[in-house]
Amino acid sequence: MNKKVVVIGGGLGGISAALHLRAKGFHVEIFESNDRLGGKMNEHRWNEFRFDTGPTLLTMPFILDDLFSTLHLHRPDYLDLTLVDPICRYFWDDGTTIDMSNSLETSIEQMAMISAKDASNYVNYLKYGRRIYDLSADLFLFRPIHEISSLMRWETLAKLFHSYEIDPFRTVHNANRSFFHDPKIVQLFDRYTTYNGSNPFKAPATLNIIPYVEHELGGYYIKGGMYRLIDVLSNLLQDMDVKIHPSTRVDKLIHRDKKATGVIVNGEAVSADYIVCNADVVNAYNTLIDGFERRRVRLNRLEPSSSGLVFLWAVRKKMDRLAHHNLFFASNYQQEFDQIFKQKIVPEEPTIYVSISSKSDPRHAPSGHENWFVLVNTPYITEDQDWSSLIESTRHHVLSRLGQFGIDLSDGIAHESVISPLDFEQKYGSNRGSIYGISSNSRTSAFRRPPNRNRDLENLYFCGGSTHPGGGVPLTLLSGKICADLINDKKR
């Protein structure tokens, strides 16, 4: 008789786990508290405007292709990926603007507009990032690093002997300063720690794998919107007879004799052979899993990642100066991160990220209009924050700051929707509103991230951005695959 798996939460990690498990012959049920799957990877529509609400870029598309191959499907038959070029357009206070491209030659030419010397070091920087990727990806991304069986493989041990080459002892900022000298170029590459909600002045330089992945392997957009991925995978779940329970919150996890045996839903017990929890690990111990107070306290001591404040703006005009992805840098980057992580306040002068998917897919906004996704990095939630006033003051700062760059949106916003840290906490169960689980602001952060196989309860597994291997579309997909593989190995 095939074993049954209950998946708590229908975010991307839970969806990935469910598809991989069903492909291996398990019976699978997903319980999702919101009215549709996707978690933070969702969409918002207003009149003829369409907005992504979570990830705006896809990297490492081969991981997605691998998922479809596992299901004996061909990804291009379902999803059309577009290589975005330029990858991002960068703006600084003094009027400097450059594009970083998928073309090596173009990127070097653009960087040379700021510093010819730094531009000449770009190839070596990519080689450095490739070395980190080659040494760390198989061990730290594609495998469950907390499993002894995974570490005790000859090829893994061989790479561990070279672990110093993944640059774990310098910070991202210090490593970038060793390659580049102009503060603008250093700032450009420091920004990639925000992809997992961390501080470049604290996070280990191993994270310099991220710019390599984006610049060398490419940044993609999904035609029709990033949420198209959730639509397609949701349909595949239904085709494969995975039971989906939307608008259904799991109240508690049932365990007996140190073994997870089911969940409580609407006051009734639902039994299962295995549980895959796609909820934030810290919040799972705070609300779902009783009886492990020491573990709960320990998890709550870990520093959460940053959060974010998102404005979705239906803009009545077209801005030809802007690309699909744009970044307006703060003049004092270290102060911005000090305010986020030390003072735990919304930055007084935030770096502003603007994604306009209608640049690549005109169907996302009416003719002559644009759909703006505007993100400002913020601290996680603390007791003394008043988010209603912070939203108002941040909106004012963003509009004023954009005005300093010559971008006037006065009377240009036809509609606004806001996603705050409170929404990440209340709607998606993120620990204190953090977007990426725990931060990576220490040398040991990769090992402190909660493992996929739970150590307190047998048959309980975790996936999603709060667990190994981390946040972002490709890593979250991998977390689901890792859980499915661990369960399948245990069954055998």
Report whether pLDDT(154) > 50: no
DSSP string over 105-129: HHHHHHHHTT-HHHHHHHHHHHHHH
Task: Give the pLDDT mean for 46-57.
Answer: 96
pTM of structure: 0.94
Cα first-last separation, the chain: 13
Looking at residue 446, what is its pLDDT? Answer: 58
Q: Which of 483, 421, 67 is nearest to 281 (CA)?
A: 483
Looking at residue 442, what is its pLDDT? Answer: 83
Looking at residue 150, what is its pLDDT? Answer: 54
Report whether pLDDT(341) > 70: yes
Q: What DSSP designation does 191 have?
A: G
Q: Which of 207, 209, 282 is nearest to 434 (CA)?
A: 282
> 284 near 277, Cβ under 8 Å?
yes
pLDDT band at residue 161 under the 50/70/90 scheme: very low
Task: Give the pLDDT mean for 168-194.
Answer: 97
Query: What distance in Å separates the CA atoms of residue 235 and residue 217, rounded to the nearest whole number?
Result: 28
Average pLDDT, the chain: 93
Looking at residue 449, what is its pLDDT? Answer: 83
Looking at residue 157, what is its pLDDT? Answer: 46
> 316 near 410, Cβ under 8 Å?
no
Report whether pLDDT(143) > 90: no
Q: pLDDT tens for residues 80-113? A: 999 999 999 999 999 999 999 999 999 999 999 9
The more confident residue out of 284 and 1 is 284
pLDDT band at residue 270 under the 50/70/90 scheme: very high
Query: What distance in Å separates the CA atoms of residue 206 and residue 446, rounded to the nearest whole number?
Result: 10
Q: pLDDT tens for residues 425-440? A: 999 999 999 999 999 8
Q: pLDDT tens for residues 108-130? A: 999 999 999 999 999 999 999 99
Write out the two tokens for 130: 């490739």
Q: pLDDT tens for residues 402-431? A: 999 999 998 899 999 999 999 999 999 999
Query: What distance in Å separates the CA atoms of residue 144 and residue 451, rounded to the nearest whole number?
Result: 7
DSSP string over 202-259: TSBGGGGHHHHHHHHH--EEETT-THHHHHHHHHHHHHTT-EEETT--EEEEEEETTE
> 141 near 66, Cβ under 8 Å?
no
**Percent of the chain scored above 90 by pLDDT?**
87
The CB density around residue 62, as the number of other CB atoms within 10 Å, is 12
Query: What distance in Å separates the CA atoms of residue 411 and residue 315, rounded to the nearest whole number?
Result: 9
Query: What distance in Å separates the CA atoms of residue 42 and residue 54, rounded to the nearest whole number?
Result: 6
Write out the two tokens for 323: 């690309």
Report whether pLDDT(147) > 60: no
Task: Give the pLDDT mean for 361-387.
Answer: 96
Question: 282: which strand partners?
Answer: none
Q: pLDDT tens for residues 441-480? A: 887 765 678 999 999 999 999 999 999 898 899 999 999 9
Looking at residue 370, what is its pLDDT? Answer: 98
Task: Give the pLDDT mean for 231-248.
Answer: 98
Looking at residue 155, what is its pLDDT? Answer: 56
Report whether pLDDT(209) > 80: yes
Question: 8: which strand partners?
Answer: 31, 277
Report whether pLDDT(54) > 60: yes
The CB density around residue 193, as the number of other CB atoms within 10 Å, is 29
Write out the two tokens for 410: 């006065």
> 349 near 336, Cβ under 8 Å?
yes
Amino acid sitting at position 214: E
Looking at residue 135, what is its pLDDT? Answer: 86
Phi, psi at 76, each rounded to 5°? -60, -20
DSSP string over 18-87: HHHHHHTT-EEEEE-SSSSSBTTS-EEEETTEEEE-S---B--HHHHHHHHHHTT--GGGT--EEE-SSS
Report whether pLDDT(220) > 50: yes
Phi, psi at 481, each rounded to 5°? -65, -45
The more confident residue out of 372 and 492 is 372
- In 395-444, the DSSP E strands lie at 413-419
Report whether pLDDT(162) > 60: no
Looking at residue 137, what is its pLDDT? Answer: 78
Q: Which residue has 């070279």 as its token pair? A: 162
> 450 near 299, Cβ under 8 Å?
yes
Task: Give the pLDDT mean for 323-327.
Answer: 98
Query: What distance in Å separates the CA atoms of residue 84 and residue 68, rounded to the nearest whole number?
Result: 22
Looking at residue 165, what is its pLDDT? Answer: 75
Could you give the domains of the chain? 1-37+224-303+443-492 (3.50.50.60), 106-218 (no CATH), 307-426 (no CATH)
